[in-house]
Amino acid sequence: MRRGRIRWLFAVLVLALLAAGCGSAGGASDSTELKIAVVGPMTGDAAQYGQDFTRGAELAAEKINAAGGVAGKQISIVTFDDRNDTTEAASVAQKIATDASIVASMGHFTSSTVYAAMPIYKSNELPLVVISASDPKITEQGNEWVFRVSPTNNLGAEAMADLIVKQLGLKKIAVFYLNTDFGKSEREYFVARATANGGEIVLDEAYQPDAKDFSSSIIKLKNAGAEAVYLSSYYSDAVLLIRQAKDAGVEARWFASGAIISPQFPEIGGQAVEGVLTSRVSQGESWDAVAAEYRSKHGAEPSPFVIYAYSAVQAIAAAAQDAGTSREAIRDGLAKIKDLETALGPLTFDENRQAVYQSFDYLVVKDGQFQPWQP
């Protein structure tokens, strides 16, 4: 009786360990399939982003497959979990790149995980399309296997610095940044442009990725005399910081990186995040069309990462269609993409395999939603 119960407990334990540790395993190679890996945080604090990646990629794959697929093949999306951890990212990348049935990979959420994984894709000659990581230097490494459809963070950061100092005339600025490759690099571009514009950084505060209690930073903010606060953050940190600061009685205008754009931001932030300003690459009709598809399927507004993932699949499919379905052919096909119609609008890779972006829109949280901002 007792022994039976112990065995039962061990079975539960083993199940739990399996549930914690596993990603989806790749199936057998199938020549009628064009297999694309989607990798990102599928579990843990940032799992929301992994889900955005998966949903965006699957939505695009369904659409393309319904229209007959690519070069006679059906696109199949396989997801992998790197838990937003650099060590895990490298080992998952190894697993993906050595699976001969996979012809392209897309994802790794943060710049840090992309940096950890990109040499592995190069040495195993598998194209990687980056769909969120925003450090400009990622595409300045001369790694010809790495492409990026999402914008670099300098663009958004500089647009926000212009808005705050030039357009709104707010000079005293506090900056909070996530202490990661993403946060540090975005902060650098923001601070450089803001000071060049004549702004003054009155508080410059880093925080750790797992921070939930911002008390000590907020006390500094309370006493810094800032007119504007800029956050190089993801939605989860930004929403906590803003709510805790408002609870503590901080009065300043809030601005944040485009990385915060997610339906969860106004949902969790509630009244506290009303009026927060951010920026996003300009959206065309194609974006709206995909957003409508997404809404009808998932009943929620898509984050930009859904659109980036969608566009990445479109780009890979176009490359395979034009140049062939081998890894190398897809790499060559991607490099040649110019003015391809994607969810993002016309997509062109520059000589560094970085998607070219022209204009930015400012968004404000109003009535619980991100809406175009009117000055």
Partner 1 sequence: MAAVTLPVVIDQLVSGLAIGGVYALVALGFALIFGVLRAAQFAHGEVYMVVAFLVLGVLPWLPWSGPLQFLLAVVAAAVFGAAAGVLIERGVFRPLAAAPHIAPIISTIGLMILLQNLVAYLKGSELHRFALAWPQGNVALGPASVPALKLVIFGTALVIPALLQVALTRTQLGRAIRATAIDPETARLMGVDTARTSAVAFAIGSALAGIAGVLVGALYGVVYATMGVSALVKGYTATIIGGVGNLVGAVVGGLLLGVFEVLVASYVSPRWTDSIVFAVLIVLLALRPHGLIGRAIPEKL
Q: Residue from 29, 123, 223, 282 that binds partner 1 (CB under 8 A)?
A: 223
Which phi and psi angles does 21 have, rounded to 5°? -95, -15
CA dihedral 235, 346, 309, 371 (to 10 degrees): 30
Residue 243 contacts partner 1 per CB under 8 A:
yes
Q: Residue from 29, 87, 167, 216 that binds partner 1 (CB under 8 A)?
A: 216
Q: Looking at 27-35, 146-154, 236-244, 295-303, which segment touches partner 1 (CB under 8 A)? A: 236-244
249 vs 375, beta carbon nearer partner 1: 249
Binders in 190-209 for partner 1, by CB under 8 A: 205-208
The string of DSSP letters for 31-79 reads TTEEEEEEEE--SSTTHHHHHHHHHHHHHHHHHHHHTT-BTTBEEEEEE
Q: Residue from 91, 101, 179, 283 that binds partner 1 (CB under 8 A)?
A: 179
Strand (E) or helix (H) holding 232: strand 228-232
Q: Residue from 162, 267, 301, 361 that binds partner 1 (CB under 8 A)?
A: 267
HEC readout, 262-292: CCHHHHHHHHHHCCCEEEEECCCHHHHHHHH
Q: Looking at 10-18, 113-121, 193-201, 288-296, which segment touches partner 1 (CB under 8 A)? A: 10-18
Q: Looking at 94-102, 266-274, 297-305, 358-366, which segment touches partner 1 (CB under 8 A)? A: 266-274
Of the chain, the end-to-end C-alpha distance in Å amounts to 72
- Using CA atoms, how far residue 100 sits from 97, 107, 116, 147, in Å, is 7, 18, 21, 20
DSSP class of residue 138 equals G
Residue 301 contacts partner 1 per CB under 8 A:
no
Minimum Å gap between C-beta 81 and partner 1 is 11
Residue 5 contacts partner 1 per CB under 8 A:
yes
Minimum Å gap between C-beta 235 and partner 1 is 8
10 vs 27, beta carbon nearer partner 1: 10
Q: Residue from 268, 291, 329, 364 that binds partner 1 (CB under 8 A)?
A: 268
Q: Whose CA is closest to 279, among 161, 188, 178, 185?
A: 161
Residue 248 contacts partner 1 per CB under 8 A:
yes
267 vs 293, beta carbon nearer partner 1: 267
Q: Are the C-beta atoms of 330 and 316 separated by less than 8 Å?
A: yes
Question: How far is it, in rounded angstroms, from Cα 132 to Cα 110?
Answer: 7
Q: Residue from 28, 31, 249, 359 that binds partner 1 (CB under 8 A)?
A: 249
45 vs 274, beta carbon nearer partner 1: 45
Residue 6 contacts partner 1 per CB under 8 A:
yes
Question: How far is it, in rounded angstroms, from Cα 138 to Cα 148?
Answer: 9
Q: Whose structure tokens read 């009685």?
A: 249
Binders in 138-177 for partner 1, by CB under 8 A: none
Minimum Å gap between C-beta 250 and partner 1 is 11
Structure tokens of 198?
A: 């004549």
20 vs 67, beta carbon nearer partner 1: 20
Three-state SS for 162? Answer: helix
169 vs 270, beta carbon nearer partner 1: 270
Residue 13 contacts partner 1 per CB under 8 A:
yes
Cβ-Cβ contacts under 8 Å for 306 (sequence gap 6 or more):
52, 53, 55, 56, 59, 290, 294
211 vs 335, beta carbon nearer partner 1: 211
Q: Residue from 66, 210, 358, 367 that binds partner 1 (CB under 8 A)?
A: 210
Q: Are the C-beta atoms of 82 and 110 separated by less than 8 Å?
A: no
Binders in 42-81 for partner 1, by CB under 8 A: 43-45, 47-48
Q: Whose structure tokens read 């965006």?
A: 56
Question: How far is it, in rounded angstroms, from Cα 320 to Cα 324?
Answer: 5
Q: Residue from 215, 296, 358, 359 that binds partner 1 (CB under 8 A)?
A: 215
Neighbour-count burial for 200-218, b at 16+ CB within 10 Å, e otherwise? ebbbebbbebeeeebeebb
Which residues would be at the binding site for partner 1 (CB under 8 A)? 2, 5-6, 9-10, 12-13, 15-17, 19-20, 43-45, 47-48, 179, 205-208, 210-217, 219-220, 222-224, 236, 239-240, 243-244, 247-249, 264, 267-270
